[in-house]
Amino acid sequence: MKKITIKNPLDMHLHLRDEQMLKVVAPLSSQNFSGAIIMPNLVPPVTSIKELKNYKNRIKKAIGDDNFKPYMTLFFKDSYDYKFLKKAKKHITAIKLYPAGITTNSEGGVDNLDVESLKMTLDAMSELKIPLLVHGESDGFVMDRESEFAVVYETLAVSFPKLKIVMEHITTKTSADLLDKFPNLYATITLHHLYLILDDVAGGMLKPHLFCKPIAKRYEDRDALLNLALNAHPKVMFGSDSAPHPVDKKESCGCAAGVFTAPIALQALAQLFEQNKKLKNLQKFVSDNAIHIYEIKPRKKEITLVKKDYKVPSSYGDVVPMFAGESLSWSLEE
């Protein structure tokens, strides 16, 4: 196959940041995707309808005339009640829960994951059919954090059976196995976790632009993710978790967590799916499954990829992408 057209490609987990960074990276997603779930962990986080509307307006200004819909989210607070969420529903697609301090700009996240502490908000979300998106990591040993969080997913799934719960950017076989155990659990999978294991990040010289949270794991974990994505499991969808940081924040002694993949995601996914003889499933993974899970009607948009080598730029502004300076076997059609 020398050409493939993807209808309405969607990125169901995207960081656009704000201010100058927003201006640089937003068009790199809006050019190639029909829409994206936008993360709310700004500084300060997006917790009110006013803040959300202002952020959405800044995104729209940054993308110009591109045919792209930002699906907005609020930063989870256990103080959100039914009255507030009913007003917020028409402005949001989901709400994102971060354990406090577990990743970039999550200091204002949830300290207590006890069901009773979350009950008011999660009951209201269940009733209003607002999906819950979760960064699922404990504060334990870094390689075990996601697996340790599995018990929280199990508790939430059982305690709130009507609540649609999305396990964000899963990285372990443990999380992959949960999908078929609970009907209300779903997942996003990133590009970089389909390609990387921890050895790729730190097995030789440290590669700061491949460092992210959750950290890349073992061969068996990557294999479990590949099995889900390549076979377009109906409960998984593409979420890039594309997370830009300027070079001085990545190439430093306090390396910021995040891999920037937005402008090369579709090309790299096509390469991966073709290598595994699963190119026919790419449409489901990057669009159809998400449309069904979120019950959304995306902007109509077609992106055509051609079998032609594409050299990834060394940087986009002050941000270095995954595969910088390397060649991918698929390109976006001009």
Domain ranges of the chain: 9-261
| Nearest to 103, CA basis, from 146, 58, 56 | 146
Kindly list the catalytic residues: 241
What is the predicted pLDDT for the residue at 107? 85
Q: 3-state class of 261 per DSSP? A: coil
- pLDDT by residue (tens digit) across 38-68? 999 999 999 999 999 999 999 999 999 999 9
pLDDT tens string 210-239? 999 999 999 999 999 999 999 999 999 999
Neighbours of 90 (CB within 10 A): 7
Structure tokens at 328: 């991918």
**9-261 classified as CATH 3.20.20.140:** yes
- What pLDDT, on a 0 to 100 scale, did the predictor assign at position 329? 98
Q: Is pLDDT at 251 greater than 80 in this prediction? A: yes
168 burial (CB, 10 Å; 0-12 / 13-18 / 19+) is: buried
Strand boundaries in 21-107, DSSP class E? 35-38, 69-71, 73-75, 94-97
| 3-state percent helix, strand, coil for the chain, nearest multiple of 5 | 40, 15, 45
Task: Judge contact between 149 and 138, C-beta under 8 A.
Answer: yes
Residue 1 confidence class, pLDDT cut points 50, 70, 90 = low
**Residue 111 pLDDT:** 86
What are the pLDDT digits (tens) for 154-175? 999 999 999 999 999 999 999 9
Q: How far apart are CA 168 and CA 313, in angstroms?
A: 28
Q: What is the pLDDT of residue 44?
A: 95
Looking at residue 300, the DSSP 8-state letter turns out to be P
Res. 87: pLDDT tops 80: yes
Res 243: pLDDT: 98
Give percent of the chain with pLDDT exceeding 70: 100
The one-letter amino acid code at 153 reads Y
Q: Please give the Cα distance from 326 to 324 (Å, whole number).
A: 6
The answer to whether the Cα torsion of 140, 143, 148, 152 is positive or negative is positive
pLDDT beyond 90 at 112: no
Residue with tokens 């009607």: 297
